[in-house]
Amino acid sequence: MRILAVDDDAIICELLREAFEAAGYTDVVTASSGHEALACMRDAAQPFDCFLLDIQMPEMDGIELCSKIKSQPHHADSPIIMLTAMSEKDYIDRAFGAGATDYVTKPFDVLELFTRLKLAAQLVEQKAKVAEKQQTIDALKTHDTFARKVDLREDIYLSGVRGALQKLAFENYILQLGRSGMFGSAFFAFRFSNVKDLHDNASPDEFVGTILDVGDVIADALKTTETFITYRGNGVYVAITKFEKNRSVTDVQAEIDADLAGLIAPLTNGEAVPISMAVGGPVQSGLFGAAEPLDAMWRAIDLVEGSAAERGPAKATIADRVKKVTSQIMQSAAL
């Protein structure tokens, strides 16, 4: 995995290089500014796979650099880890809003950083597999009669929807905020009740296009810029937004229903699938207690899915993967 680490502190850059090489990541390039990083990307013989960015840098900060990296088509899905001393919610919001997939605060724990990096490596591997499959599809495609069928359970990035995050980045954002950071926020979950009808009758393009259209409706109904939203698959959307105690789930449901009244998915096979949505929430995370930050999200999802039993093994989140990867790293170190 090719890594570009950007920090205006030369000591941090050298520390990162040595730490990564000790962990087996030998293809590491460092840059001391955003402009130098963009030059490294422009001149690189091969694209970088993963980026680590400090936020506070002169001339171009890490958030602006993150946005510039994500604007490049071949890096739209590249993992970007913000490695910074800035832990305030405003910086976290801006970083994830610019496209960051993870956020580690200084002074960082090396083991945690390695864990996050290994998770990023898994994303890079998944991205490569998707690209390989797409090349196969392109090779087999004849007059657009062949296209990859989208799995009903597949999480889809809501490209172009205000506040959209990838599923992994959404979970990382919640974990980074923690319970105290989520104070004043609430989760809403939305279930596309007849998503299977759409999936069974629509082409892949029609299915994805409708998922994006519904995401736009949800974002408009929540009516605030302080909102992040993700699509988790199986017709389920989740949003975290500013809590308004005078705004009930009934209010949001009414707005969603009104906007969806005229939205019908016309399909090329002659079918017309109406859009039906259920809304769950608002659910707030308790400031005190032992609950995990993601528990409030799952409670909102339970409200639209009926019960936790229906969810089954899908409850495994980034937090579970972090624990698993950390355990693997520690076992390797013991050897």
Provide the β-strand partners of residue 21. none
Model pLDDT, residue 332? 56
Model pLDDT, residue 322? 57
- Which residue segments constitute the domains of the chain, with CATH numbers given? 3-125 (3.40.50.2300), 167-328 (3.30.70.270)
Residue type, position 243, single letter: F
How many H helices and E strands in the chain?
12, 11
**Which tokens is 234 given?**
């199986």
Report the candidate in 295, 284, 291 with the shortest Cα–Cα distance to residue 317. 295
Query: Given 3-state DSSP classes, what are the helix, strand and coil percentages for the chain, each rounded to the nearest 5?
Result: 50, 15, 35
Q: CB of 216 within 8 A of CB of 161? A: yes
Length of the chain, please? 335
Contacts of 115 by beta carbon, 8 Å cutoff, 6+ apart: 322, 325, 326, 329
Model pLDDT, residue 246? 76
Model pLDDT, residue 74? 85
Q: CB of 66 within 8 A of CB of 38? A: no
> How do the pLDDT tens digits run along the chain, 335 residues long?
899 999 999 999 998 888 888 888 889 999 999 999 999 999 998 999 999 999 999 999 999 999 999 999 888 889 999 998 988 989 999 999 999 999 998 887 878 888 888 888 877 777 666 555 455 444 444 444 445 678 999 999 998 899 999 998 999 999 888 866 777 889 999 999 889 988 988 888 889 989 999 999 999 888 766 799 999 999 999 999 988 877 788 888 888 888 887 666 667 777 777 888 899 989 887 655 546 778 889 999 999 887 433 333 334 455 555 555 555 555 555 54
Model pLDDT, residue 256? 87
3-state secondary structure of 52: strand
Model pLDDT, residue 179? 67
- Adjacency order of strands within the sheet including 102-105: 28-31, 3-6, 50-53, 80-84, 102-105
Say which DSSP state 164 is in.
B
- The model's pTM: 0.76
